[in-house]
């Protein structure tokens, strides 16, 4: 997901939701929400958020590489061999065999 706040909200909502019982009051839900938000301010919460942001960054780098490759095909007249090489590159990228952060730096 490219909207990190949605991932953070899902984490909080899941943690609060797992504590729900038939007799849970709104006051208890509010207290549990406050506790979850307080956890975000502690080191483990910051680590979780950093991981979420890093994950989004990784996806964006992958998309940037893919978009640049597509633009190269559209902008340049390339040979069949170049197309085959590009297709192989895209397949390796999808399989996760290419370090997208290194590839993005080479663009």
Closest to 36 in 3D by CA, of 28, 27, 45: 45
- pLDDT for the residue numbered 18: 93
**Per-range mean pLDDT, top range of 31-40, 65-74, 87-96, 98-107:** 31-40
Question: What number is the average pLDDT over the span 28-45?
Answer: 78
* CA pair distance 34, 104, nearest whole angstrom: 40
């Amino acid at each position: 997901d490219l909207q990190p706040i949605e991932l953070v909200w899902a984490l909080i909502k899941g943690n609060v939701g797992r504590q729900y019982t038939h007799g849970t009051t709104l006051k208890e839900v509010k207290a549990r929400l406050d506790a979850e938000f307080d956890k975000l301010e502690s080191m483990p919460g910051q680590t979780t958020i950093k991981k979420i942001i890093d994950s989004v960054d990784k996806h964006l780098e992958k998309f940037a590489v893919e978009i640049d490759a597509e633009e190269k095909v559209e902008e340049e007249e390339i040979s069949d061999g170049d197309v085959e090489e590009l297709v192989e590159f895209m397949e390796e990228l999808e399989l996760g065999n290419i370090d997208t952060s290194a590839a993005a730096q080479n663009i």
